[in-house]
Amino acid sequence: MVRKSIQINKIKNFSDKYLDSERVEEWKVKNIIPPISVRGISQGYYWLKDGSHRIQAYLDKNKTSISAKVY
């Protein structure tokens, strides 16, 4: 496992379709957000394992990258 900052647009299976908006709002107000978990696939892309609500909170703040544990 390696911890690094990754571009959100490089995460292949992220979807906001089933997110709990209250949970997203909770993440948006926190100053420190734990890293998401992804699996590296090919050509610099990632497969999301955990962290959809945190990603949406970052997107809502107009952030383009997020801290991730890459497996």
CATH of 2-70, one of 3.40.50.300, 3.40.50.720, 2.60.120.200, 3.90.1530.10: 3.90.1530.10
Q: Domain ranges in the chain?
A: 2-70
Give phi and psi for 10, each to the nearest 5.
Answer: -95, 5
pLDDT in tens, 1-56: 999 999 999 999 999 999 999 999 999 999 899 999 999 999 999 999 999 999 99
Which pLDDT value is given to residue 31?
A: 85
Is-above-0.85 flag for pTM? yes
Which pLDDT value is given to residue 20?
A: 97
Listed in order, strand segments (DSSP E) in 1-71 are 2-7, 36-40, 46-50, 65-70
